[in-house]
Chains A and B, each alone.
Chain A
Amino acid sequence: MKKIDEVYEALSKIIDPEIGFDIVSLGLIYDVTVTNSSVEIKMTLSTKSCPLHDMILSWVQTAALGVDGIEKCDIDLVWEPAWNVDMINHEVRKKLKD
């Protein structure tokens, strides 16, 4: 498995406790770049007022550093483009609507 896929897999284990789905399926991870032993994760949150802000970032950091061979993780938290429901994975969106 490619390193980038391993990072995505680790991130997909992080569940938003309020929504009940993982942050990758929710479309909160915009981009992952792996260079040697470093990873840069470009991500957002569902709302600027997200009360779990620092906690989610620390989970992302821990998950990424838990991947074999990754020693450094930089998180670029962005608000543009603003997250919206169209970014949610199709299956999760269907479950939310049911």
Chain B
Amino acid sequence: MMSIGAFAPPFRLVGGYFAVGVMFLVICVFTFWNADFDIMLSLNSALFFHTFLLGFVISIIIGALYQLVSVILEKPFFTLKFAYLNFFVFTIGVISLLLGMYFENLIFLNIAGILLMIFFLYFCTVYLLSFIGCKVWNFSVISLLCSGIFLLFGILCALALVLVLNGRLDIDFSFLVSLHIYLVFGSVYFVILGASSVLIPMFSLAHKSKFYLYYLSGISYVLGFFALFYEIKFSEILAIISVILFVLQVIMILQKRIRKKFEYWSLNIYFSFICLILGVIYFYFGESEKLIFTLSFGFLYSFIVAHLYKILPFLIWYNYISKFVGKLKIPMLDDMIMKKVAYMSLAFNVLAIFFSGFGFRLSALILIFISIVLLITNIINFFRYTKFGQLKKGK
């Protein structure tokens, strides 16, 4: 059993991805306003999807993966060489992509295509190579492996899309877009499945849970990929079944939790899963904008925020505070959170989902923007603790 300390990547690397992710989250509010979800293949819609999924979600996930892989695989990340360089390639690539989509500028799009391709191919390669020699093969490991494979193929589909757009490849464009979306969303989904199977029991203190539904959920999503080649409707049904199984699995785990208290982590988790179910309902009724808002700012945002409240304080505590154990009075992780601010952030998030349900786009976006500002306030407060020893000595 390996520990985080043995192979922990530099905090600056993980923190860098988190900081960039939150920066893109702010931009998401504006790109959502600009998007027209009646035309899913429009550049404006793509601009929002890429700001949110690539800029925010993938940034956070990659930062978290650098940290979690060694813990879950019980071996080090294959290599951290060029990790900082790759981080800059990613950031500049995403910014170029967003500028290219916003200004409909091919030069920016081409630069973004090249940079992001380099970034993803390198990251996927070292990420997948990390599984070689892995001795533990439990659900979380299998999920993370699936996420890497989905991401790799999702990126190759993106390359194929660019080649089709340039007239160098002759494949059905909309089918390729479907493949790209299913694969990239799948990579995010499998990280969530794998990470949640470790983090939810850990943070809620729930043990003795069986993971059958997790496995069935993963299998259902993979089958959905193959169904894409046959009939897209089957694929959608299998993806929805996968989501329902996932929700049921989480309910089963949470039923066994000993930490019954409702706090910033658990409330965000409950809310995210309520939004996931709400998303399935919107999907059934063909409410595309409500579906996208709810899945983005309801499910994914809340799920990520819940874990940011746990992971960021922990990383700062581990890197900057733990060395003072036994020497100074040190804070617990819970003490590092501004709880009222965290609850207010969640309350504005709930209101945003509520207003979006009635089609009040502007109100929902203002509310989610306030929620994000409050989240950032808490994050800035976490970073104050990087000066913990100095602050104490100063006093």
Scan residues 35-51 of chain A and give those whose CB is less than 8 A from a CB of chain B. Answer: 46-51
> Judging by beta carbons under 8 Å apart, are A53 and B3 in contact?
yes
Q: Which residues of B contact A97 (CB under 8 A)?
A: 258-261
Q: A20 near B: Cβ within 8 Å?
A: yes
Q: A88 near B: Cβ within 8 Å?
A: yes
Proximity string of chain B (1-38) to chain A, C-beta cutoff 8 Å, 1 when within and 0 when not: 11111100000000000000000000000000000000
- In the bound complex, what is the Cα–Cα distance between A49 and B332 (angstroms)? 20
> Judging by beta carbons under 8 Å apart, are A54 and B6 in contact?
yes
> Judging by beta carbons under 8 Å apart, are A54 and B5 in contact?
yes
Q: Which residues of B contact A53 (CB under 8 A)?
A: 1-5
Q: B156 near A: Cβ within 8 Å?
A: no
Q: Which of B202, B261, B330 has the most CB of A within 10 A?
A: B202
> Judging by beta carbons under 8 Å apart, are B3 and A54 in contact?
yes
Proximity string of chain A (23-34) to chain B, C-beta cutoff 8 Å, 1 when within and 0 when not: 000000000000
Q: B317 near A: Cβ within 8 Å?
A: yes
| Closest Cβ neighbor of B323 among chain A residues | A55
Q: How large is the interface on B (under 10, 10 to 19, 20 to 34, 35 or more residues)?
A: 20 to 34
Give the number of residues in A that approach B within 8 Å (Cβ atoms). Answer: 28
- In the bound complex, what is the Cα–Cα distance between A21 and B334 (angstroms)? 12
Scan residues 41-98 of chain A and give those whose CB is less than 8 A from a CB of chain B. Answer: 46-55, 59, 62, 77, 79, 82-85, 88, 93, 96-98
Q: B314 near A: Cβ within 8 Å?
A: yes
Q: A1 near B: Cβ within 8 Å?
A: no
In the complex, how many angstroms separate the beta carbon of A10 from the nearest chain B beta carbon?
11
Q: Which residues of A contact B332 (CB under 8 A)?
A: 15, 17-18, 20
B residues near A (Cβ < 8 Å) are: 1-6, 71-72, 140, 198, 201-203, 205-208, 258-261, 310, 314, 317-318, 322, 325-326, 330, 332-334
Query: 20 interchain pairs (CB within 8 A)?
Result: A17-B314, A18-B203, A18-B310, A18-B333, A46-B205, A47-B201, A48-B1, A52-B3, A52-B318, A53-B2, A54-B4, A54-B5, A54-B6, A55-B5, A79-B1, A84-B208, A85-B207, A88-B258, A96-B259, A97-B258
